[in-house]
Amino acid sequence: MIEIKDLHKSYKMGSNSLHVLKGINFKVEEGELVAIMGSSGSGKSTLLNILGMLDGADSGEYTLDGVPIKNLSETKAAQYRNKFLGFIFQSFNLINYKSALENVALPLYYQKVPRKERQEKAMKYLERVGLKPWADHLPSELSGGQKQRVAIARAMAAEPKVLLADEPTGALDSTTSYEVMDLIQKINDDGNTILVVTHEEDIAHMCKRIVHLKDGVIVEDKKVEQVRAEQYV
Amino acid sequence: MFDLERWQEIFDTIRKNKLRTFLTGLSVASGIFILVILLGFGQGMRNGIENEFKQDASTSVWVWPGVTSKEYKGLNPGRRIQLVNENYDKASAMFDDDIEYGSARIFVRGISVNYGKEALIYGVQGVASDFQFIENAKMVEGRFINYQDEVSNGKVAIIGNKIKKDVFGEVDTPIGEFIDISGIPFKVIGVFKEMEDREEERIYIPITTAQRTFNGGNRLNNLSFTLPPRENFDEAVAQAIDFKNGLREYLQQTHTIAPDDTGAIEVWSAMEEAKRYYGLTNNIKLFFWFVGVCTIIAGVVGVSNIMMIVVKERTREIGIRKALGAKPWSIIGMILHEAIFVTAISGFGGLIFSMALLEIVGPNVEVDYIMNPSVNFNVAFSTVIVLIVAGTLAGFVPAYRAAKVKVIESLRDE
């Protein structure tokens, strides 16, 4: 599904150059649930941005579902993002003046899905994350866990190949975190490929594979026994 | 523009950001409002000045004889020029094709006017039937002097509306009453109205009667003419100048006056005078346009500013949209589309409000030189179009900036 070969990325900070990713090689198969771990400054967010086509790599190869991702125009990148990727952010990033339903329907708008179909589809995904009764609520009327579930529904709505989650539980208490992880695991059970960036050990162990990043290189890549979040809920 | 989905998206955004939209719209609407009111008052001044000229027919030409100031063909300066019937008849014949209406006039002097026992101190003037049109006098009651009165030396008098009010207040109508002019009874047959009170303090009698009854001989005090209307102003001015020069030349020759002695025969043309004032009002109009355009520029800068703030405020939202797969052009389109929609609606709002105000208040404005301020709808409409276009251009920069928003930075947690 995802294939990365010898990926390099550096940022210019004034006259200095900060080498953030120093040759990453990494492969994700379809249906995997991968945790990317690392302390701050390890390059995990940069890697996620490149995977999410929000940033370009300096050198190296990146293939997503057999499509080489290289030298994309902004328009093309937007198209690919819409088609291939669903984002889940630490701070939810819902549009605050749109209801839960409208937030979920937004990626479908950019796929030019007709309004009615959009609403139906969005409702289906809201139902799947258990928030159908809150469809007409604004994000400000929802709890943190509910917001993240709306964000997950939104990421799912476009039916992407890969879900990218950047610290999805970072802003949540542990009970709510487990609820969200439970949801992510269930989505993964349905065969969706998911990448989770996190620095919490327990969250990482709820994935099937942990990739450790340190100073821009992968120091450890291991399969783990998945801890089901269900038991904590 | 005709993408229904886009419209729905924009209506959603507007509905959920009422205050922001209202403030943006208010700045545009007030800009247009100020502009239209300004243009309206510019037009009002023009109307007012035009009105000042409506006292006499706008194409009228007047001849006033004076005193020669130059020696010519052996004649001394200081001669008083006296116009006579022959001058008028000849001039009328010479310029027959150019003249619409014409009338000589004589001021009857050394007379006493009485109504019953009351002595009146109004001037009596002998005029011809056409004089009504030259003076632009409106008949309130009865009729003006007619041709029959002139041939029959009718003892009839036309009085001004002010005389009616001042003297004939006790009778229902002055028509049919008799006034005594130096012992001769004249029947009042009409009342006229003028723009100015001063001109209503006159008693008109037929010119033939004035000459024969009051020892006028064939003397005239002045001549007046109107020229036929022309299609445009410039032609009318040119016609007036031609006529004026021709008439002066003829009168100077008959009375043996030096061609450059302008004081001896003064020919005054309302058209030429009007041209000067039209020039003035054109300058005023230009000035108001200048102020108006400045207002529009201020409005555009305002719109651009607010759009900048809007983009700034929506940076995160734009970032989210981009992460969800919005293309750069769809972001630009969204911001621009919303801006144009808001600008257009509020622009028309301001336009309609200000035009309604002018429509309601305008006709009641009665200040000197300002009358019925109003605005040409086409002008106002085109300013709205200009504003929208300019607003679009001004909005494009913020919109473009919005499209360039870096997703990572915009979504970074503070």
List all residues of chain A from 85 to 124 with a beta carbon under 8 Å from chain B. 87, 89-91, 93-95, 97-98, 102, 106-107, 109-112, 114-115
The helix-helix angle for B377-403 and B328-361 (nearest 10°) equals 160
Give the chain A residue nearest B406 (alpha carbons): A54
Boundary-marking domain end, from B228, B243, B270: B270
Of A78, A107, A115, the CB nearest to B327: A78
Number of domains within chain A = 1
- How many angstroms away from the CA of B309 is the closest CA of chain A? 17
Say if residue B97 is in the same domain as residue B209: yes
| C-alpha separations of B105 from B92, B100, B203 in Å | 14, 17, 12
Say if residue B76 is in the same domain as residue B213: yes
Of A83, A109, A111, the CB nearest to B9: A109
Residue B17 to residue A112, Cβ atoms within 8 A: no
Q: What is the pLDDT of residues B91-108, one digit of tens each?
A: 889 888 888 899 999 998
pLDDT at B1: 46
**Which 3 state secondary structure label does DSSP give B413?**
coil
Per-residue pLDDT of chain A (233 residues; tens, 9 = 90+): 899 999 999 888 788 888 888 999 989 999 999 999 988 878 888 888 888 888 888 889 999 888 888 888 888 888 888 889 999 988 889 988 889 999 999 999 888 888 899 999 999 999 988 999 999 999 999 998 899 999 999 999 988 989 999 888 888 898 899 999 999 999 999 889 999 998 889 999 999 999 999 988 999 999 998 889 888 87
Domain encompassing residue B353: 4-52+277-411
Beta bridge partners of A59: A8
Beta bridge partners of B246: none
Alpha helical stretches, state H, chain A? 44-51, 74-84, 100-110, 115-128, 144-157, 174-189, 201-204
Angle at A197 (CA atoms; ends A194, A199), nearest 5 degrees:
140
Boundary-marking domain end, from B270, B300, B327: B270
Instruction: With beta carbons less than 8 A apart as the criterion, state whether B317 and B407 touch.
Output: no
**Which 3 state secondary structure label does DSSP give B213?**
helix
Task: State the complex-level ipTM.
Answer: 0.88
Tokens representing A93 are: 């990033």
pLDDT (average), residues B62-75: 88
Q: What is the pLDDT of residues B374-402, one digit of tens each?
A: 777 777 777 778 777 877 877 788 888 88
Per CB-CB distance under 8 Å, the chain B contacts of A114 are 5
Tokens representing B144 are: 């003006």
Say if residue B349 is in the same domain as residue B253: no
**Which 3 state secondary structure label does DSSP give B75?**
strand
Separation of CA B135 from chain center: 18
Residue B320 to residue A93, Cβ atoms within 8 A: yes
Interchain contact A186–B (C-beta under 8 A): no
Number of domains within chain B = 2
Say if residue B283 is in the same domain as residue B265: no
Edge-to-edge strand list for the sheet holding A217-223: A85-88, A162-166, A193-197, A33-37, A209-214, A217-223
Say if residue B39 is in the same domain as residue B73: no
Q: What is the pTM of this model?
A: 0.64
Tokens representing B120 are: 């009146």
Instruction: With beta carbons less than 8 A apart as the criterion, state whether B182 and B214 touch.
Output: yes
Instruction: With beta carbons less than 8 A apart as the criterion, state whether B247 and B98 touch.
Output: no
Residue B322 to residue A78, Cβ atoms within 8 A: yes
Domain encompassing residue A144: 2-232
At A114, which CATH number? 3.40.50.300
Is it the case that residue B17 has pLDDT exceeding 90? no
Residue A95 to residue B317, Cβ atoms within 8 A: yes
Boundary-marking domain end, from B237, B270, B303: B270
Burial of A198 (0-12, 13-18, 19+ CB in 10 A): buried
pLDDT at B358: 82
Say if residue B211 is in the same domain as residue B266: yes
Of A87, A90, A98, the CB nearest to B413: A90
Per CB-CB distance under 8 Å, the chain B contacts of A112 are 5
Say if residue B287 is in the same domain as residue B261: no
Is it the case that residue B2 has pLDDT exceeding 60? no
Instruction: With beta carbons less than 8 A apart as the criterion, state whether B277 and B49 touch.
Output: yes
